[in-house]
Structure 1
Amino acid sequence: MRKPEDMFDRDREWAALVKFATDEQPGATLGVVSGRRRQGKSFLLEALCQELGGFYFSAQEATDTESLTLIGDALTRHLDPVIPFTPSNWSMVIDVLLRIGQNRPVPVVIDEFPYLARANPALPSIIQGAYAPRRAERTSSKTRLLLCGSAMSFMGRLLSGNAPLRGRASLDLPVNTLDYRLAARFWELDDPRLALMVHAVVGGTPAYRTEMIRYDAPRDTADFDDWVVRAVLSPGSPMFLEARYLLAEEPDLRDGALYHSVLSAIAEGNSGRGGIAGYVGRKSNELSHPLTVLEDAGLIERETDAFRGNRTDFRIKEPLLAFYHAMMRPFWPQLLRGTATERIWQRARQRFTGNVLGPHFERVCREWTLYFAEERFGGWPSQVTAGTVNDPAARTTHEVDVAAVGHAEDGRPPLLAIGEVKWGETMGLGHLARLRNIHGLIRRNDRYDSSQTRLVCYSGAGFTEELLQARDRGEVDLVGLDDLYGSA
């Protein structure tokens, strides 16, 4: 079945949903679709139901009784029975949903399922009972039931551990944000530098461009500052409060002040647990729960140091959150008034480069190395993270922005590449010398096979002539913005 023409990308997700919904095998099946708000989940599922004549119901925040009434009304409109369907419990609803697929495979979607489960915590168990393997209502049905939700912590638990629905689902489909390359295409930005700057502010959430900014994109790099002011920093823009709503939408994030403080700590460069604890004013062992909740919600991610396995660094996963905590939260009272927005932005512009663009560029370079570099460095990387290398002689440590580790076929895993990243600095022989020194320190350690490690310079500002000559001699690999966006 052809994908709707107005759907951008999502080829993999659409193909998985079509395959699930058109499966001719007997017996009702269950699928789960998850992803943060505004990624296009509902758009996908509504399109699926329209194409295949399925049933789509979007739940609301309501009591259990009202929710039963609402889905009963929706089923009455869809099935057009002789008398209205007025369910008194969810077992009745699920059985009717199973009967929809008596004659053919048909998608049945319950969107925003966490609202229903919050009002009636027994609902997952009721579905489990309805989907018992030998139950006649299930075996005689071809209903393809899809439960969809945006509360990531809840959806992550729906099929895990001892959850009632574990083992019942035949589809578990995440709908993620667009990666930085797809985001550039979606925003129709041909200039790699401008595309990366925009991505550092709004990331890859499709609805930010379509519904919230209404296709207002910067014309060029000269228009970027004005665009940030009018599209994100203005109190009249829907994007102004969006970062705060991202936390409010997660039911497990009850102590908003603590979670905002943790995110601010990371945005200020405190990526380690100890640095976060010091910034927040809590003990390190008291942060395990909030860090886990933020990670389950898809708002932060943890990386294991490539060279110090006992060290974990935390990064903000959603660019808009990093932008908000670095650029908006420190000036929130002034921004709320909306009278000095341009002056605040100009005053904080250097902070944007150092606290937002620089770290974001590092993240994009690691993403490119993992997903798009393929075998450029001698093999497919299985892991790409940052790392810290000890220098005992100098009594210091050296930060490695990109460390690409390959798959261990036999013995130690190969260290494919180490790299340094600079956004606004033209890179030269000094950066190559630093990488050589770090490589020498790594070779004294037996953790990796570093005999074929490539040295890589990633720059958003270019390279000196001397460094270009070193590349031509095979001494270093150079990666610029055109490489990152596939336009080199």
Structure 2
Amino acid sequence: MADVLSRPPGVVGREREWRLLADFVRDPAPALRLGVVSGRRRHGKSYLLRALTEAVGGLYVTVVREEGRLAALQRFSDAIAAHAGLRPGVLRLTNWYQVLNNALDVVARRAVTPLLVIDELPHLLQHSPEVPGVLQQIYDERQRGSTGNGGRVILCGSAMGVMHQLLSGAAPLRGRAVVDLRLAPFDYRASRTFWEIEDPCTALRVHAVLGGAPGYRSIASRPAPGGDGFSRWITGTVLDPGRTVHSRIETGSLLREDPRIVQHTLYYDILTAIAQGASTPTKIGSALARQRNAVSHPLDVLESTGYVRREQDVLRARHPVITLTDPVIRFNQLITLPQADTIEQGFAEQAWRASAPTFSSKILGPHFEELARIWALRYAHAVLPDGLPGPVGTTEVPDPAARTKHEVDVLALALGERPQAPRARIALLGEAKATLARRGTGDLERLEHIRELLGAQGYGTSGTVLVLFSLHGFYPDVVRLAARRRDLLLVDLPALYGVGPVLGLGG
């Protein structure tokens, strides 16, 4: 069994996810087991589950969006018949109880491990909302052993809100699933490997535009070159209205994934307001000339789908900051939409040149800061004296003497500390800048001052390491300081991507 479920060579990364799913399907328990896999469009859910199904000889069925109830029943019946070695049309199952029971019985007889995967379940629920209830009935029956074999069922879908509701509240399947896997995009290092990009600067730019969704590589249809070639790549992909990866087309497709998003103009306007810096419901409502209450529900929907995030200050209880989480949507709202007419007329190169300052300040800069926080969370433990840090985020530090506040790009608490806890120990304090200038002693002095302020406010800073993140390196004087000091790290772009050394800590 272990050999059958070894990760296929075509599945890049996803070691943890594959191990979880492999353990699920080879669970020796004879009773039926349910799993739920959700994730945004282009994240590779279908690819991963197809590979798993093929590895065990299971049955994989994808729901068609435009298909009606009767057509879906017949197509599922034909898929079951084909899996059993019968001709299409032999089975004519008339309800979902028959379909699902027959599917489980067939895979139990023919598969190494009895696995049934239903992909894009939310489309099925639009015309057959009874399916979760039917699954509950079958699940309960097969727990008692009153009918058929056990088997394994995986339900998959891209409409995040719909998938999350399957296991929440009073939903029929609540408490019955043993796996609830939310497939995330590749992180920035895995994305660079997947795209086979040598140059970290190019990898950063591609990730700032398309993020870590692996599905974009195949439809981009061309590699992302470094240097000046990046501009040609941009204008030939996300700024080309004739391509499916064009950001306007892709943003529309992403929003249509969730059936709750019906007022597309309102959602577009909210996303644009957030992309331009509106960070609270009040500010977003003001940007749209609407009351705060008018945007509350759409914001909740966008958050449940994973398109926006509410970021809490890691040190203090403040109103959370609302940000966009999808790079494609961010690029569309800030770059493509404002230049839509120019792009549609065939002048994508001119539109891109005109948008370069916006890309640098509102996309590349914030994205670099986000990657610095991810580095602190996932990779800093390899160089920090105390190893793995705790929660990572941002904060504002008041400076009463100067009558100002200092924004902190990266702050990591010590392992075991809780966010917003008074007198918490701080493991890491960092500043991330994606400007053309190198970072020097002035940046270090700012961090030292902030550390002193935090210490005076009761936080534990005796073991706090200062980290400077730079897109274009460091001045020699700060490099010499890092070689002597035990509380300073320098992380340039190669170090961020793990292809260059992290300098500092006296070594």
| TM > 0.5 fold call | yes
When residues 138 and 368 of structure 1 are mapped into structure 2, their CA distance, relative to the original with a 3 A threshold, is: farther
Corresponding residue for residue 103 of structure 2 = 97
Q: Which residue of 2 aligns with 1:423?
A: 434
Q: Which residue of 2 aligns with 1:319?
A: 327
Compute the displacement of 1:152 (Å).
0.8
Q: Matches of 2:417 and 2:223 in 1, distance apart?
A: 46
CA positional deviation for 1:278: 2.4
> Does 2:409 correspond to 1:398?
no
Are 2:32 and 2:142, in contact at CA under 8 Å, matched by a contact in 1?
no
Which residue matches 1:445? 457
Structure 1 residue 174 displacement after superposition? 2.0
Q: Is the 2:482–2:488 Cα contact (8 Å) retained in structure 1?
A: yes
- Counterparts of 1:194-233 in structure 2, within 5 Å, are 194-210=202-218, 212-214=219-221, 216-233=222-239
Kept in 2: contact 1:382–1:405 (CA 8 A): yes
Match status 1:260 vs 2:254? no
Q: How does 1:37-436 map to 2 (within 5 A)?
A: 37-61=41-65, 62-80=67-85, 84-103=90-109, 105-132=113-140, 140-210=148-218, 212-214=219-221, 216-240=222-246, 241-338=249-346, 340-374=347-381, 376-377=383-384, 378-408=386-416, 412-424=423-435, 425-436=437-448
Identify the residue that residue 480 of structure 2 maps to in structure 1.
Answer: 469
Please tell me the residue identity of whatever aligns with 2:228.
A
2:492 is matched with which residue? 480
* Cα-to-partner distance string for 1:60-98 (whole Å, 9 max, x where unaligned): 122222211211121122224598211111111121123
SS of match in other structure, 1:146: strand
Contact 1:105 1:142 in 2 (8 A): no
Q: CA separation of 1:346/1:316 partners in 2, compared to 1, >3 Å: closer, same or farther?
A: same
1:34 aligns with 2:34: no
Q: Give the drift of 1:364.
A: 0.4
Residue of structure 1 in register with 2:504 after alignment: none
Q: Answer yes or no: is the 8 Å Cα contact 1:39–1:205 preserved in 2.
A: yes
**1:102–1:432: structure 2 CA closer, same or farther, 3 Å change rule?**
closer
Contact 2:30 2:151 (C-alpha < 8 Å) held by counterparts: no
Q: Does the CA contact (< 8 Å) of 1:231 and 1:239 recur in 2?
A: yes
Contact 1:273 1:312 survives alignment (8 Å)? no
Which sits farther off after the overlay, 422-431 or 286-295? 286-295
1-side partners of 2:121 and 2:157: how far apart?
Answer: 5
Identity %: 38
Q: How much has 1:22 moved relative to structure 2?
A: 2.4
Give the deviation of 1:102 after TM superposition.
4.2
Report how far residue 133 of structure 1 moved: 5.7
1:205-262: per-residue Cα shift (whole Å, max 9, x none)? 111111x112x12222221111111111011221112122211222122221222222
- Cα distance, 1:393–1:45 mapped onto 2, change above 3 Å: same
Aligned counterparts of 1:445 and 1:335: Cα–Cα separation in 2: 52
Once the two structures are superposed, residues 269-290 of structure 1 have per-residue CA deviations (whole angstroms, 9 ceiling, x without a partner) of 2333433232222333443322
Count of aligned pairs: 484
Cα distance change on mapping 1:388 and 1:429 into 2, 3 Å? same
Shift in alpha-carbon separation, 1:276–1:450, aligned structure 2, 3 A: farther
Q: What's the CA shift string for 1:437-481, capped at 9, x where partnerless?
A: 2222222323x3223222211110111112112212315321111
Which is further off, 249-258 or 280-289? 280-289
TM-superposed CA distance for 1:360, in Å, is: 0.4
- Cα deviation digits, residues 24-70 of structure 1 (max 9, x gap): 22111111111112222112222222222211111112222221121
Q: Secondary structure at the match of 1:30?
A: strand
2:463 alignment partner, SS class: coil
Tell me the TM-score normalized by structure 2.
0.91
Amino acid at match of 2:497: Y
Residues 257-266 or 343-352, more deviating: 257-266
Unaligned runs of 5+ in 2: 501-507
Q: 1:388 to 1:243 in 2, by over 3 A?
A: same
SS at match of 2:430: strand
> Once structures 1 and 2 are overlaid, which stretch shifts more, 219-228 or 356-365?
219-228
Asked if the contact 2:119/2:155 (under 8 Å) is kept, the reply is: yes
Alignment check: 8 A CA contact 1:100 1:143 kept: no
CA contact (8 A) 1:408 1:414 kept: no
Residue identity in the other structure for 2:440: G
CA distance in 1, matches of 2:145, 2:62: 24
Q: Is the 8 A contact 1:101 1:142 kept in 2?
A: no
TM-score by length of structure 1 reads 0.94
What SS is found at the alignment partner of 2:7? Answer: coil
One-letter amino acid of the counterpart of residue 41, structure 2: R
Q: Is the 8 A contact 2:471 2:492 kept in 1?
A: yes
Cα deviations by residue, 1:399-458 (Å, 9 ceiling, x for unpaired) = 111111123469843111111111123111111121122222222323x32232222111
* Counterpart amino acid of residue 84 in structure 2: L
- Partner Cα distance (1:396, 1:177) in 2: 38
Change (3 A) 1:477 1:136: closer
* 1:275–1:465 Cα change, 3 Å: farther
Q: Is the CA contact 2:31–2:143 (under 8 Å) kept in the aligned structure 1?
A: no
What's the secondary structure of 2:28's corresponding residue? coil
- Shift of the 223–102 alpha-carbon distance from structure 1 to 2, 3 Å rule, reads closer
What is the CA distance between 1:363 and its match in structure 2? 0.4
* Superposed displacement of residue 125, structure 1: 1.0
What is the alpha-carbon distance in structure 2 between the residues aligned to residue 408 and residue 337 of structure 1? 56
| CA distance in structure 1 between the aligned counterparts of 2:69 and 2:7, rounded to whole angstroms | 35
